[in-house]
Chains A and B, each alone.
Chain A
Amino acid sequence: MTFSDAALPVPNTLCVTMTVNGRQLAAQVEPRTLLVHVIRESWELTGTKIGCDTSQCGACTVLLDGRAVKSCTVLAAQADGAHLTTIEGLGQAGEPAILQQFRDRHGLQCGFCTPGMIMVATALIVDGLATDEDAVRRGLAGNICRCTGYGPIIQAVLAAARASGDGAEAAAGTNEATAATAPLGVAGGGA
């Protein structure tokens, strides 16, 4: 051990690797590093937002192996080896219906909650859970819009579900990965 090592404690780090929006990315992180911080700071994918930082608001929602999760409540270490889709990963294969519907129906006001809303909506549609207004409201329960513009958001999700080759039908299948790549233009989603 050299003198400088003794004088300056170096935090433990570990290397995490993920397939992010179809690309293989790695980062050297501390064990305590949250997934959202790796996404935003190491990989500079700043579409994913930090809203409440307390697992309430859903602005940090990403797809981890095809499932919507709050990336402020997952350690980067826990996501090692996973497939990650962030808002930047949508639309790589042409504009998905969900983005078009949010724009056409003005499903946003200030826009801060929008990436999280779109990511959870994407998962709901793929899973066939965006069947009616009540189901969409329940599905979006973990996402807060502090502008309170929920009406157009819900309408946009319902319209995208219909436009995505009948969300209900696409979703009847269980293969998330297959369903995710086609109508929604999700790259790298699913296990």
Chain B
Amino acid sequence: MIPAAVDYYRPESLTDALAALATEDSKILAGGHSLIPLMKLRLARPSVLIDICRVLPAGVQVTPEGGARIGAFTTWRDIATAPGLGGCYSALRSCAGSIGDVQVRNRGTIGGGLCHADPAADIHAPALALGATVAVTSAAGKRNEQFDGFVIGPFEPRIGPQDIATWVSLPAQPPGAGSAYEAVNDAASGYPVSGAAALVLVREGRITGCRIGLTGVSSTPFRPLEAEQAVLGWNASKGWEDLPARVRSVCDGVRVLADRSAAADYRAAMARLVTARAVRRAYEEATNPGGAR
């Protein structure tokens, strides 16, 4: 399969990239591992590809304030192997290491993954749970977008076609925070039937704070706010088997997807399962960093 005819432009500066984006039907090309397959199927037919490989930052920085900053052009492989992303950022690191396969992780980028806004993208779960912010540059200037609410529909990010995501920032977390990502994947496609990331804060053995992000479950990623509350107060003496009951509300009020890889009730059951697993492993990361792996 061969994409439809297209022009190709590789700008040397962000200014040139922004200028080129003014062309009608132009499209940003990052790793290309979502866009190029769509172009081969002719589901996407941009007039010009703007390859931003030379203008976007790549790499992971742990900032002095304790947060982390990830260049939009950083590959999944480089996130999965970044030394600074343990502890409270473990959900991001383990998620990045589980996306697609070795070859996909060598090319796919976090900026591309977030902006492609595939409802089943693994990355959305840790981005929600960890409170990610996306730095966006356009001809009008720079701004920050909270990832919570960034995906407004399938393949529909809140940013426009003339915006470029440049950085992904994760806020600092207090001591005693841990996070984890768990998914049940479709065997053929590798995409999650349900994927959950959890960030928990543990004080004196008890969960005192919790954020959960779910992906693959509905047409947009979401936070199950009731389940986040229900997890508070849990401690190891209550037993792991108590967790699935606490998070049973994760899909309440959500329209759960049904497709050939999973019926809605199965997908909802998997959402409860992976949420409980993610909370458990996040708790282990918080109380015994690195030991949970």
Interface set of A (CB-CB < 8 Å, partner B) = 11-12, 14, 30-34, 37, 53-55, 58, 61, 64, 67-70, 73-75, 77-78, 80, 120, 123-124, 139, 141-143
Contact = CB atoms under 8 A, between A and B. Distances in A.
A70 B100 CA distance: 12
Contact of B3 (A32, A64, A74): A32
Contacts of B33: 55, 73
Contacts of B8: 12, 14, 31, 75, 77
Given A55-B37, A73-B32, A73-B36, A68 B7 contact: no
B77 interface: yes
B107 A73 contact: yes
Contact of B104 (A12, A32, A139, A142): A142
B102 interface: yes
11 contacts: A12-B8, A31-B5, A32-B5, A34-B40, A54-B37, A58-B101, A58-B103, A70-B107, A75-B8, A139-B102, A142-B100
Given A78-B29, A124-B102, A142-B100, 10 more contacts: A14-B8, A31-B8, A31-B49, A54-B40, A68-B102, A69-B103, A73-B33, A77-B51, A139-B102, A142-B104
A106 B39 CA distance: 38
Closest 8 A/B residue pairs (Cβ): A142-B101, A31-B8, A67-B106, A32-B3, A141-B101, A70-B103, A142-B103, A77-B8
A74 B1 contact: no
Nearest to B104: A142
Interface residues of B, number: 28
Contacts of A11: 5
Interface in B44-95: 49, 51, 53, 77
A143 to B, nearest CB: 8
Contacts of B29: 75, 78
Given A55-B104, A58-B103, A123-B102, A67 B37 contact: no
A87 B217 CA distance: 41
A55 B102 CA distance: 12
Contacts of A32: 2-6, 39
B275 to A, nearest CB: 24
Nearest to A55: B37
Contacts of B53: 78
B7 A141 contact: no
B248 interface: no
Contacts of B37: 54-55, 73
Contacts of B106: 64, 67-69
B60 to A, nearest CB: 15
A123 B77 CA distance: 13
A178 B205 CA distance: 47
Given A53-B1, A67-B77, A73-B107, A120 B36 contact: no
Contacts of B116: none
Interface string B6-38: 111010000000000000000001001100110
Contacts of B5: 11-12, 30-32
A27 B37 CA distance: 23
A190 B101 CA distance: 20
Contacts of A74: 32, 36, 107
Nearest to B39: A32
Contacts of A12: 5, 7-8
Residue from B4, B8, B10, B33 having most chain A Cβ neighbours under 10 A:
B8
A75 B6 CA distance: 11
B32 A78 contact: yes
A56 to B, nearest CB: 9
A69 B107 contact: yes
A32 B2 CA distance: 7
A31 B6 contact: yes
Contacts of A123: 102
Given A12-B7, A67-B77, A73-B37, A120 B51 contact: no
A46 to B, nearest CB: 18
A40 B173 CA distance: 50
Q: Which of B29, B39, B103 lies at the interface centre, i.e. has the most chain A CB atoms within 10 A of its CB?
A: B103
- Chain B CB within 10 Å, residue with most, of A74, A75, A123: A75
A91 to B, nearest CB: 22
Contacts of B102: 68, 120, 123-124, 139, 141-142
Nearest to A34: B2
